[in-house]
Amino acid sequence: MPELNTSSLPDLIFSVLFFFMMVTSMREVTLMVKFEKPTGTQLEKLARKSCTSFIYIGRPTDQYIGQYGSGTRVQLNDAYAEPAQVYDFIMEDRGELAEIDKPFYTVSIKADKEAPMGIITDVKQMLRKSYALKIMYSAQKPND
């Protein structure tokens, strides 16, 4: 019986490995705030996640309460920020996009349903100043 030729097997394995490395996306942000999504009725899926910046608003998680208090905080990437820092965050994030993707740039606000409206309004004012006018709010379907 003839032997099986395995000389091309390493090439095949590396091709499959490379494919999975390119397709898989890792979580980029460590959540430092806890939020419970509010419920919504007219929900749509986010079209292009690659052209989206996420702003998290909520109370610090248990491991950060001692350092930062228990009040509502804004999280941009992996750090707490003040609402006034949203402008710089948006300008930097939008600047990293390719020119063809800039018209599709969206900001997704993931806010706790108990978050005070004053902080959300402050964030929205900074978004207006930075001309980030496409805003989406994260919500979940109501439980029937």
pLDDT of residue 27: 61
Identify the structural domains of the chain with CATH numbers, from first to last: 27-137 (3.30.420.270)
Q: Which residues contact 75 (CB under 8 A, 6 or more apart)?
A: 29, 31, 32, 33, 55, 56, 57, 58, 81
- The whole-number mean pLDDT for each consecutive block of 10 residues of the chain, a chain of 144 residues, reads 82 90 75 85 82 91 73 89 94 91 91 92 95 91 77
Integer Cα distance of 129 and 123 in angstroms:
10
Whether pTM > 0.85 for this model: the answer is: no
